[in-house]
Structure 1
Amino acid sequence: MTTTRTTVEDLLGRIAEGDPAHLAALFADDCDWKLNWPDAEHGRAETPWIRHRTTPAEAAAHFAEIAAHHVPEKNETRIDRILVDGDDAVLLGVIRQVARTTDRPYTSRLALHVTVRDGRITRYHVYEDSLAVAQAFTPGT
């Protein structure tokens, strides 16, 4: 039986691998996926990965879009703590990325709430500094 912690650790390993299709296999067919950005900011041309998702195919697209819009070799994201309570896990850390289009870095504290049922992710809620990300991707700021 797969535990919540095992699934979360698998998720982190797959994110590090950078294979969106392999990552997508961890997500349930109907996943509650949210990013804490203001609704008016979802779907901006500069940050197309910022939108709600529900399916494994959409999860794969999310991770592919993140990779396409960042400079992977300059990623210094780290997870400081994983807290698990039954089916739920909260990951706390720091995102350090560089926007490919502007070559500007940004840093954001991160909280990720994941729910795992039957070894698959059914909730994926990301809390980050949306202003820092938006500024890094907005030309001329």
Structure 2
Amino acid sequence: MGTMTLNEIRKNKIETYFKKIDSGLFDDEYFDLYTEDVEMYYPKFGFEKGKQGIKNFGRVIGKHLEKLTHDMHNFRYIFSDSIIVVEGNEKGMTRSGKEWPDYTTSFGKFCNVFEFDDELIKRVHIYVDPDFASEDTERLIIFRNESQYVKEHSVSQTKDVVEEFYDLQFGRKEGNIVDLFADVVDWDLPGNKEKFPWTGKRETKQEIEQFFHELYDHIKSESFVIDFISVDGENAAVAGHLTSKILKYDKVFSTEFVVIFKVINGKIVKYHFLEDSYTLNEEMK
């Protein structure tokens, strides 16, 4: 070993490991870094054993990454007996051409744990997010700061869904309005259901579809004016006034209204329609 300590030799081996990975040069010098029974772990991939296992992993990861670069000058090393932990930053490009990290949802942080048998690596466990380009949107929604996600993403989506709802309801756009709803919906339109069968609570798409049939069987809309739409993340409030002819009673009813929407993942999960249901009940006799 000359004047070099064992830890210095091991650190040099680790540096060679990263240089080979960054250059994509997996030659004899690279595989000579390992013991014959080396163990490797990578998130979502799992474990491999032996040099052939290292080759198997290389083929898998190579299908997803076009290039990979580690910031070796700023590595942090932690030495403990036969184990060296390396913490640092990496960047790269996927096969689809997406560069990472974007420093918004991906940050390129990683940590490798190397265990040595004398001068050879007998175990390397890699701890890193395998979703390099942050394309796993479902998990991003869960793990990102909720208020930040709502602020950046939900407002425009909620407004678009609400506007499409009214475009479909009033024939400005073709399509099935029921498709805008989630499979389970918190739906409420308070009223005397015995006199006004379109009122009440509903939950399923089938019940919502029935609502529109019942509504148009019993009323004729004479005006429906939206004064404003207010959006706060996943929630929206629509205020306005309407005039409808109640066919059974042959009477016209006018009221102000507020509709409460909640939109998650592009689907309406809450719809509460609030109007002067007391006056409606009193006038329709």
Equivalent position of 1:77 in the other structure: 224
Larger Rg: 2
Equivalent position of 1:12 in the other structure: 166
Q: Which amino acid in 2 is paired with 1:35? A: L
Distance 2:283 2:213 in 1: 19
User: Whose RCO is larger (CA < 8 A, sep 6+)?
Assistant: 1
- SS of structure 2 residue aligned to 1:3: helix
Equivalent position of 1:124 in the other structure: 271
Distance 1:122 1:107 in 2: 28
Q: Does 1:96 align with 2:243?
A: yes
- Give structure 1 regions of 4+ aligned residues with deviation exceeding 4 angstroms: none
Q: Which amino acid in 2 is paired with 1:49? A: W
Cα shift at 1:119: 0.9
Aligned length in residues = 130
Question: Would you say the 8 A contact 2:190–2:199 is kept in 1?
Answer: no
Cα shift at 1:71: 2.0
Q: Which amino acid in 2 is paired with 1:134? A: N
Find 2:209's aligned residue among 60, 73, 81: 60
Structure that is richer in strand per residue: 2
TM-score (norm 1): 0.84
Instruction: Name stretches of at least 5 consecutive residues in structure 2 with no aligned partner.
Output: 1-152
Q: Does 1:30 align with 2:184?
A: yes
Q: Which amino acid in 2 is paired with 1:30? A: V
- SS of structure 2 residue aligned to 1:52: strand
Distance 1:61 1:31 in 2: 14
- SS of structure 2 residue aligned to 1:49: coil
Instruction: Name stretches of at least 5 consecutive residues in structure 1 with no aligned partner.
Output: none
Distance 1:53 1:81 in 2: 26
